[in-house]
Amino acid sequence: MRREKKKNKEDEDRGVARGSGGVAGGQEEWQGSQEEWQGSQEEWQGGHEEWQGSREEWQGSREEWQGSREEWQGSREEWQRGQEEWQGGQEEWQGGQEEWQ
């Protein structure tokens, strides 16, 4: 009988230890998840900085693209002017040829 009581007492002690272990375990788990959260927050910040960097790059290349588009339009206008000049010269040449005939 006494032995059984002693066994119950041991079980009880074990239960109490397990209970407080549970609290400590829960706290460690909470700390672990908090660290994980901080890690993912840092990761997010890193990704955000990367995103901002690539956004600035994109804006830079967009400005470059606009610049080269303006250049292209300028050279297209030049080409049109040159073509008109060439047509004028051709008409002159035809006029001269008619005169020669």
Averaged pLDDT for residues 59-66: 92
- Say what the pTM is: 0.33
Band (98; pLDDT cuts 50, 70, 90): confident
pLDDT digits (tens, 9 = 90+) for 1-47: 566 666 666 666 666 555 556 667 788 888 889 999 999 999 999 99
CA 88 from chain centre, in angstroms, equals 54
**Residue type present at position 27:** Q
Q: Could you tell me how many helices (H) and strands (E) the chain has, helices first?
A: 1, 0
